Structure 1
Amino acid sequence: MNIINSRQNIALVGAGIMSATLGVLLKKLLPNSKIDIYERLDRVGAESSDAWNNAGTGHSAFCELNYTPMTDDGQVEISKALSISEQFEISKLFWAYLKKNKYLNPDIGFINDIDHMSFVWGDANITFLKKRFEALTNYAMFEDMKYSENFDEILDWIPLMNGRVRSDKIAATKMSIGTDVNFGAITRGMIDWLSNQEGVRLHLAHHIHEIEQESGGWWKIDMKHLKTGEEKSAYADFVFIGAGGGSIPLLEKTDIPEARGYGGFPVSGQWLRCNNPEVIRQHEAKVYGKAAVGSPPMSVPHLDTRIINGERCLLFGPYAGFSTKFLKEGSFMDLFLSIEMHNVWPMLRAGIKNIDLTKYLIDQVRQSFEDKFEFLKSYYPEARIEDWQLEIAGQRVQIIKKDKDEGGVLKFGTEIVSSQDGSLAALLGASPGASTAVSIMLNLLQKCFPTNMESKEWQETIRHMIPCYGQSLIKNGKLCKQMRAYSTEVLNLQDRS
């Protein structure tokens, strides 16, 4: 028997959206498998997956302008936006499967429909937004997008913009099929289901301090129970490291050659949160603007309606910052302890080439509450400072990796790093992570379980969960509309297009 087919002892490190998604997929594909989930905290989905630690945007590229950069010849590059939009549709189909089959608690809401808008001002930005609109609406997944430069129409879309000078040149796009997602609720729902399956065990408050492959190919995982102090070891023939910012130091402990040259650049964040119910009621959209030059993707400004645990909230931000922690509840020594001989040069080279980012983060850290509030007024001119308070957002770690030509590069997005034998994989990076978790984990299965993924049994199981699996929603507009209509109905979203 192929060794890949025989892997039945699985360790998932980190109890976030990635491990939860992979755990459900593997339990459906390998029903006899034994799965152990290890989490350093005493609760599930409490770091990047938690609702207060991320934007909650169902990243479908409807409003995120950083996914459609302007090229040197003045055109708008939309390939990344198309890919992300397709991946989010796949995530919705998977969540619809979970909801329809009662794998998630039907009494706990985790996704709501909310308009996704892009808003810009100034001639150059308006030209960019119009070109973006014209390019994207050639595809079925974007054909319902609306574009306007009419002040009154945009004011109707974004009432909080009232007070802006009417002579300002502004433009906006709107997609009514956008969503707000509570990734923490989805994570906890999936892990609750997993915990009730035979052969699955959840281990909270377990700190892993060593991951080592033994001569027989099995992985030995050494850990400490943080409440009892007990030291113990576990063994697995497949390990997934999905610990958010904590994945890089854990990956380094494995000593796999594929991990050499990787480092991490941590970026922290803050929100302004509205505490005035009257203001919160006036706004019902996720309004994204253009990121500042040199800023990381997680810092794209947005005026953001959120539905968290049934409560409607209004946030603005995020404001980027710098911390040497790799996790919100991590250690200030995380960055320093991650530096080793194999990644010190790539990290230095990436740092030198990203001086603008460093300056941007320093500027953000130096900003006072009043400075942050002034930036809010460019989106909400009549905002009152007493209606807003500062909240700490989640911690992200961007990828730094070795590069043959440049020494080291800073990468945004996510990347799977796996051992040559496919027995261990780790997910590094950040946005749009959670929104595209299902596609990311399917790609991971393709890398680590290639023989299984080609089998008729696995193909049929995956298509049962994701009906469009193996087909392009970008090229097949009719199929895209069918799949979107299906997930909209099952997830109880209101198609207002």
Structure 2
Amino acid sequence: MGNRDNKTDVILIGAGIMSATLGTFLKELVPEWDITVFESLSKPGEESSNEWNNAGTGHAALCELNYTVEKPDGSLDISKAIKINEQFQVSMQFWSYLVKNNLIRNPQEFIMPLPHMSMVQGEENVSFLKKRYEAMSKNPLFEGMEFSDNPEKLSEWIPLIMKERQTNEPIAATKVEYGTDVNFGALTRLLFEHLSAQNVNIQYRHRVNNMKRTSDGLWELKVKNLDSGNVEHHKAKFIFIGGGGGSLPLLQKTRIPESKHIGGFPVSGLFMVCNNPEVVEKHHAKVYGKAKVGAPPMSVPHLDTRFIDNKKSLLFGPFAGFSPKFLKTGSMFDLILSVKPNNVLTMLSAGVKEMALTKYLIQQVLLSKEQRMEELREFIPTAKSEDWDLVVAGQRVQVIKDTEAGGKGTLQFGTEVITSSDGSVAALLGASPGASTAVHVMLEVLSRCFPEHMNEWEVKIKKMIPSFGMSLMDYPELLQEIRQSSEKALGLDKKELILS
């Protein structure tokens, strides 16, 4: 390509689940638009979306206790859980549409049915879980949730966790049968296979080094071919930055006003992976506990059955680590280079506010394997050190920004969409629930960046997502219909799991 100008309608930076989802939407809505994707690695879905770099939980707030908050009067606020569940329902509808229309095939490659459970110990925590169950089970979104504090019943649900458990503390769990394990790496690869067949120009081993606005209103990107070393220039009307932890530095290069006063703090995750097939077979659920007092929301411990490469696995974590890199394949200078004159006060304010997080990260980094095993034994009393290995998961960059509620330098734990005022550029920052809500997030990008098209696109969007523009909890019959349709299309209605 050399240095000549290459013009396209849309450029997607990063070949992860977010770009894959947005590209798929655009090809359904405006198939005539030209789309180019740049990815610095050699394959799609290798960073945050990769199956070993995230927990693989279809986040629907069925088991994640940090999505429900106890209010000062003792009642429970489940509004965030409702919001996240409805967003996951949107993802399920979109994936079902893709399967039904043969745009992607073999859904068992990326999604499997798996019970979602919450488990707590101690009188206060059991009381909290019971209140949570009573508040959520009345809502149609969480229909079918079960609660038990009976050790015999819990031994049926989670035999590996209950075996040889010696404690006088009360213990309780909730269970939702229709949870899911989602392989976002496999889903990303399937979507990029589809996009490639739709003549999307996907350029692997190409790194975007800079971008600027041109006098004609286009964005010009300076892109390096990492194999040849050649530098290319590409222009587009719309840019989406979906580079995981690498999105913040690229957003800063746009110099749009919305990119200012935003920082990022990288946190790496580590998981214990069971290497003993006999132990793996004794557990079949995602079981989330409660974060310890003073620990950040990202530290919620969970014991996960996973399905990766047609093989059942068992993971426990996450344990936090620290690296100044924004991506696993990033640079040790990522964090320091992200500090700019416009965000230095924001970053310093966060440093002062988040001393507890700093202390937590230092403690986590210094943990020995045996100390990690002791935490695992709170879930599996019989766990043996030789049955477990430590693996490094993905890098997550937690967003730091100035907010009205939290003041200067407030650490955000969710997913953030940043768009320019004219809608010509959008960036996705942040972490969990991330990939699970990719479809909802990309619909937000479409509505913010292409408002003039939304009326004409609405009919097609409703074919893909029947509940578009509606709150499903207000329409129980439609919710039931959509849930059954999605489960059938995605093969989640099968009683037995068969792994080849």
TM above 0.5: yes
CA contact (8 A) 2:107 2:491 kept: no
**Partner of residue 60, structure 2:** 60
Alpha-carbon separation, structure 2, partners of 1:249 and 1:466: 33
1:113-164 deviation per Cα after TM superposition (whole angstroms, max 9, x unaligned): 0010000000110111011111111211112000000011011111112111
Matches within 5 A, 1:372-411: 372-403=372-403, 406-411=407-412
1:211-270 deviation per Cα after TM superposition (whole angstroms, max 9, x unaligned): 111121100000111111011110000000000000000000000011110110101011
3-state SS, counterpart of residue 281 of structure 2: helix
Q: Does 1:81 align with 2:81?
A: yes
Q: Does 1:144 align with 2:144?
A: yes
Alpha-carbon separation, structure 2, partners of 1:102 and 1:319: 39
Please tell me the residue identity of whatever aligns with 2:454: M
**Partner of residue 9, structure 1:** 9
**Partner of residue 189, structure 2:** 188
TM-score (norm 1): 0.96
Alpha-carbon separation, structure 1, partners of 2:111 and 2:303: 18
1:445-497 deviation per Cα after TM superposition (whole angstroms, max 9, x unaligned): 11001121122xx111111111221221122122111111110011010377x
**Partner of residue 122, structure 1:** 122
**Partner of residue 219, structure 2:** 219
CA contact (8 A) 2:298 2:413 kept: no
Q: Supply the RMSD in Å over aligned alpha carbons.
A: 1.4
3-state SS, counterpart of residue 492 of structure 1: coil
Alpha-carbon separation, structure 2, partners of 1:322 and 1:246: 16
Alpha-carbon separation, structure 2, partners of 1:10 and 1:391: 37
**Partner of residue 245, structure 2:** 245
**Partner of residue 3, structure 1:** none
Question: How many pairs are equivalent?
Answer: 487
Please tell me the residue identity of whatever aligns with 1:187: T
How many angstroms does 1:293 deviate by?
Answer: 3.1
3-state SS, counterpart of residue 304 of structure 1: strand
CA contact (8 A) 1:88 1:436 kept: yes
CA contact (8 A) 2:8 2:36 kept: no
Alpha-carbon separation, structure 2, partners of 1:129 and 1:474: 22
How many angstroms does 1:167 deviate by?
Answer: 3.3
Residues 59 and 495 from structure 1, CA distance in 2 versus in 1: closer, same or farther, beyond 3 angstroms? farther
Please tell me the residue identity of whatever aligns with 2:286: K
1:411-445 deviation per Cα after TM superposition (whole angstroms, max 9, x unaligned): 11111111111000001101001000000000111
Residues 495 and 473 from structure 1, CA distance in 2 versus in 1: closer, same or farther, beyond 3 angstroms? farther
CA contact (8 A) 1:37 1:201 kept: yes
TM-score (norm 2): 0.95
Q: Does 1:482 align with 2:490?
A: no
CA contact (8 A) 1:262 1:399 kept: yes
3-state SS, counterpart of residue 109 of structure 2: coil
3-state SS, counterpart of residue 126 of structure 2: helix
Alpha-carbon separation, structure 1, partners of 2:19 and 2:297: 23
185-194 or 68-77: bigger deviation: 68-77
Alpha-carbon separation, structure 2, partners of 1:191 and 1:452: 24
**Partner of residue 433, structure 1:** 434
CA contact (8 A) 1:303 1:379 kept: yes
Matches within 5 A, 1:337-356: 337-356=337-356
How many angstroms does 1:408 deviate by?
Answer: 1.6
1:54-80 deviation per Cα after TM superposition (whole angstroms, max 9, x unaligned): 000000000000111212222211001
**Partner of residue 30, structure 2:** 30
3-state SS, counterpart of residue 393 of structure 1: strand
163-172 or 334-343: bigger deviation: 163-172
How many angstroms does 1:8 deviate by?
Answer: 6.9
**Partner of residue 175, structure 1:** 176
Matches within 5 A, 1:285-324: 285-324=285-324
How many angstroms does 1:108 deviate by?
Answer: 6.0
CA contact (8 A) 1:239 1:424 kept: yes
Please tell me the residue identity of whatever aligns with 2:354: N
Alpha-carbon separation, structure 2, partners of 1:38 and 1:11: 8
Please tell me the residue identity of whatever aligns with 2:481: Q
Please tell me the residue identity of whatever aligns with 2:308: I
Alpha-carbon separation, structure 2, partners of 1:408 and 1:43: 35
5+ unaligned residues in a row in structure 2: which ranges? Answer: 1-6, 496-500
Residues 417 and 69 from structure 1, CA distance in 2 versus in 1: closer, same or farther, beyond 3 angstroms? same
How many angstroms does 1:196 deviate by?
Answer: 1.2
Alpha-carbon separation, structure 2, partners of 1:101 and 1:190: 13
3-state SS, counterpart of residue 90 of structure 2: helix
Alpha-carbon separation, structure 1, partners of 2:185 and 2:300: 22
CA contact (8 A) 2:424 2:449 kept: yes
How many angstroms does 1:297 deviate by?
Answer: 3.1
How many angstroms does 1:403 deviate by?
Answer: 3.4
3-state SS, counterpart of residue 15 of structure 2: coil
Q: Does 1:468 align with 2:467?
A: yes
CA contact (8 A) 1:343 1:402 kept: no
**Partner of residue 4, structure 1:** none
Please tell me the residue identity of whatever aligns with 1:206: H
**Partner of residue 448, structure 1:** 449
